[in-house]
Amino acid sequence: ICRELQKRVKLPQYNTIDDAVSLLNKSKNIIVLTGAGISTSLGIPDFRSKGTGLYSQLENLGLSDPQEVFDISLFREDPSIFYSVAKDILPSSTKFSPTHAFIRLLQDKGKLLTNFTQNIDNLEGHAGILPEKLIQCHGSFATATCIECKYKVDCQKIYYDLKAGKVARCDQCIRKIREVKPGFKRKRSSNGSTGARKKRQSYEDSTDDEDEDIAVAGVMKPDITFFGEDLPKRFHDRLIDHDRDKVDLVLVIGTSLKVAPVSEVVGVLPRDVPQMYISREPCSHVDFDIDMLGDCDTIVTELCRRVGWELQHEMVREDK
Ligand code: CNA
């Protein structure tokens, strides 16, 4: 989308939280652009928050640039780096945050044009955002594909490997390897469990035939977009061909807007469409009309209160 990019100029008529409330009230086609900040209240770390973000935790992996964890060439070389980190982002429950519930509320009020999410935790679906209103710009953990034979599985199939930080291997590759080895027999390990199960505990340490088969089988890669990979075609099609002429308000929540091309979304939308930003830290490289800095769950709850909408969520305290 770079070709379409323009430097945004602030609209002088929108400044205050009252302006934000009136914009929410009158808008009918809102683009909500979200990032990792909307899931941190659930215990899922973001990338760049100092101290708690994943990048702060990656120094001990000896990476010169923490983004390398999501670099496709490095994944092909050594998938264990990604697998050692993925378990932290993969949600262990279907719980969603008050901010997810707020986006759902916009949908229920008929105001949500599209939720462009950079998140890969798949929690928008659990919050009830309709697939036709959701663009998962960086894919998600919902499915995984073998990097060798392209065999696709539901991520539930590799969930235990993901959660254990173990590199998941492709079942279809393993089957094929065994088909060409007719003498192969499944072995029992000394503790009575099958060799395959033993592999799940530690294929790296094992030396038996079965474990060697598994270790050379293709690696499963969750269908998230790594640096160096194209974004889904739907992202561009929806933004340029569908949303650009309809949008009447842009709401950016919980993202540092540092990852292109999603960071460029704000620059390709019509200049007269107001844009608001909700996050803990200011976003110095974009001129939003209204910046609301702080915890996003608190801010959306307050916005709902002022608009007169009831935001129902177990984490939202009702002050009478
Ligand atoms: P980021 O660069 O880490 O930025 C997150 C932003 O959210 C920062 O500006 C924080 O200050 C802010 N923030 C954190 N917590 C809150 C909060 N409670 N309230 C308000 N603001 C908060 O992450 P981005 O999303 O900008 O970067 C895009 C990457 C992150 C995408 O490629 C994702 O796939 C990737 N990611 C996703 C997840 C997830 O799916 N939950 C987790 C970690 C990383």
Pocket test for ligand 1, best of 32, 41, 47, 72 (most atoms within 8 A of CB): 47
* Nearest CA-CA partner of 105 in 273, 237, 251, 282: 251
pLDDT value of residue 202: 40
Element (H, E) at 104: helix 98-108
As a whole number, the mean pLDDT across the chain is 87
Average pLDDT value for residue range 249-265: 95
Centroid of ligand 1 to alpha carbon of 148 (angstroms): 31
Any ligand 1 atom below 6 A from CB of 234: no
pLDDT value of residue 197: 43
Weakest-pLDDT range from 190-204, 212-226, 249-263: 190-204
Q: Whose CA is nearest to atom 5 of ligand 1?
A: 255
ipTM reported for the complex, 2 dp: 0.99
Choose the catalytic residue: 100, 138, 236, 285: 138
Judged against a pLDDT cut of 90, whether residue 149 lies above it is answered with: yes
> pLDDT digit string (tens) for 105-135?
999 999 999 999 999 999 999 999 999 999 9
Using CA atoms, how far apart are residues 264 and 59, in angstroms rounded to an integer?
A: 29
pLDDT value of residue 209: 59
Q: Which residues line the annotated binding site for Zn(2+)?
A: 146, 149, 170, 173
- Work out which ligand 1 atom sits closest to the CA atom of 41: 18
When pLDDT is cut at 50, 70 and 90, the band that residue 261 belongs to is very high
Centroid of ligand 1 to alpha carbon of 302 (angstroms): 21
Question: Are the C-beta atoms of 31 and 287 separated by less than 8 Å?
Answer: no
Active site residue 236: no
DSSP secondary-structure letter at 231? Answer: P
Q: Whose CA is nearest to atom 14 of ligand 1?
A: 37
Q: Order of strands, edge to edge, in the sheet holding 152-154?
A: 152-154, 139-146, 220-224
pLDDT value of residue 206: 43
